[in-house]
Amino acid sequence: MTDRLPFAATRGAAVYEGLKLPAAVLLDNVRSMYNVGAFFRAADGVGLERLHLCGITAYPPKKQIAKTALGAEDCVPWEHHVEALEAARSLRRAGYEIAAVETSVQSVDLFDWQPHFPVCVMFGHEVDGLRPELLALCDRHIRIPMLGRKHSLNVATAGGIVMYELLRKYRRLSESRTITT
């Protein structure tokens, strides 16, 4: 048995009251349903607006997604799109900044990036990354600093890092707006 309190009962929970992160995640051709489930779980944790599951990316209901999502697939809004490019263009028309999480020559460090909310971050295939036509559509390319020998992380791990960094930046932005008004 655990002594953990539900989050609402912990000190500081009021800071999060009513906070919804104005961000979306677009997954294009993510093969592993376990990775998709992990995205659902992290998306729930940060209060993400919506997951966009594109191409061959699996979508609920699937046993493998549920195994890692642990019920988050039932409470995080999501949409399935056959074509990621059209989904990204639709988000752009809706006023979202579009950012690729991809190591490229034009990538900026995740911790230096100042996103413009609402924002959509895109993640691609576990081995091949995002397709060139999606990369060309992006306003920014973001990289997670890698200090070791490896040059990349598991896509779901990367997703969790990026979503929580977006939450941190959005909270700071919200706090500064509250102070100045």
Based on the number of CB atoms within 10 Å of its own CB, is 130 exposed (0-12), middle (13-18) or buried (19 or more)?
buried
CATH ID of 20-176, from 3.90.1150.10, 3.30.70.2190, 3.40.1280.10, 3.60.40.10: 3.40.1280.10
- Is residue 26 within 8 Å of 43, Cβ to Cβ? no
Could you read off the pLDDT of 51-72 as tens digits, one per residue? 999 999 999 999 999 999 999 9
Q: How many CB atoms lie within 10 A of CB 38?
A: 23
Could you read off the pLDDT of 140-173 as tens digits, one per residue? 999 999 999 988 899 999 999 999 999 999 999 9
| Dist CA 35 CA 14 (whole Å) | 31
Q: Is the pTM value of this prediction over 0.95?
A: no
Buried b (16+ CB within 10 A) or exposed e, 82-101: eebbebbeebeeeebbbbbb
Could you read off the pLDDT of 2-27 as tens digits, one per residue? 666 665 554 444 455 667 899 999 99
Residue 68, token pair as written in the block: 């890692």
Helix runs in the chain, H state only: 33-46, 63-69, 84-93, 132-137, 155-180
Could you read off the pLDDT of 122-134 as tens digits, one per residue? 999 999 999 999 9
Residues of the chain with pLDDT > 70: what percent?
88
pLDDT on residue 151? 85
Break the chain into its structural domains and give their ranges.
Answer: 20-176
Strand partners of residue 97 = 119
